[in-house]
Every structure is written in structure tokens, then in C-alpha cells.
Structure 1
Amino acid sequence: MYTSMHGYFVLGRLGCNLEGFFATLGGEIALWSLVVLAIERWVVVCKPISNFRFGENHAIMGLAFTWIMASACAVPPLVGWSRYIPEGMQCSCGVDYYTRAEGFNNESFVIYMFVC
């Protein structure tokens, strides 16, 4: 709200990196959680006769998978593969999909995000 009132992102580079990272991480966690849930539902509905039961280890593996995949998408801009920049109305930050300059490797990162 503070940045919206000013009309631009006022928290600086570190604030942009933090906000972009947590926004991307949260979105990716939501996405991969739905993937894990869909797989679990598919097993339960489509394989009802099998003797398979979901246990605590399966839940832990689902959580670990979700966090690893989300981190694999959110961490690279922090270490130099692409970057987080103010986007839209310049009031929040996200992954830089726009810059075509040599030093940022954005094209390869965008391809990676489509695969991820």
C-alpha cells in the first residue's frame, strides 16, 4: 500500500528482491501443492483396488517436493540468473521477463520457468 501511494517501488533493490522472491515462492508453492494434491487424488480415485495407502512418509515427500520445486523457480534470480525488478505499475516486484540484455540470461530463464 505504501508503494502504491507513492506510485513507484520505494523499498530499494533489497526490498524488491525480498518481495519478488516471496511472491514467486508463494505462487510456486501454491502451484506445486495443487500438483501433489492432484496426483494423490488420481491415485485414490483411479487405483482404488490396489493395496496402496498414503502414510506420513508420502506426506513428507509431497511437502519436500513442493518446496524444492518452488525454490528451484524462486532462487535463481537472487543468484544472477535473471533478476527481480519492479513490474506493472512499479508497485511490486517480479521476475524480469522483459530485458533482452546480454548479462541477465533472461531468455534461458524464461525457458527454464516454462519447463519448471
Structure 2
Amino acid sequence: MSGGDAPEGVWFWLTVAVLEALPPRARLGQVVRAVTSDFEPARDSALAMRALDGLVDRLFGVGNDLVVPTEGVHRAGSYVVPDPLVVPSASAVAQGGFFRDAQVRAGLSEWLPGS
């Protein structure tokens, strides 16, 4: 079965199952970070971008970055990434634009050693 043929909810269930099966971060000595957004197009965005956002919003039914639900980036079942960096909707940043956003670059500089 290809990804496009999967029954609704299967991919979310698989994601939750995989994430919940991971060992607790404390045992690994790792820190996990998350970057997400709830994309809303800028006022002067092209009609196609506004239409895409409206379609994806209806598809997900919750805030999203045009690819995945906003909360799904940092919360899946009992797996929770504390203190995610949520880019404000006013910034009009979709998932493909994270690295162009000043807040994301600042967060990465803070989180990554030697930066």
C-alpha cells in the first residue's frame, strides 16, 4: 500500500507508535528540539497561496505549516518535545521557509554547539 492509499489516520498512528517506542530522552542524555509554525499567508500573497492555505487548513482542520499539523511536530501521544519554537503566524513561514526565518536561525544558533 502506498502512502497515498493509506486509510485516514494510519500515518498518524504509525508516527505515534514509533515515537512512543523511543527510549526516554533522559536515558539517552539528549535534548530534543522542535521548530514549527501555523502558516497564514501574508495579506499581499497571491491568490494561489491563499487558496492553498485554505485547502490545507480544511484538510487538517487544525493549525499547520502546509505540510504537517503544527502541534504534531512537537506532540504525538505521550511523546512531547518541551518548549518548541513556534514561528508566529504573522511571519507567514511555511515548512519550506524555516531556514530563512530570523527566529529559527537564532534558535538554531542557540541550540547547536559551536555556533
How would you bin the TM-score normalised by the shorter chain? under 0.3
TM-score with structure 2 setting the length: 0.28
Greater percentage in helix: 1
Bigger relative contact order (CA 8 A; separation at least 6): 1
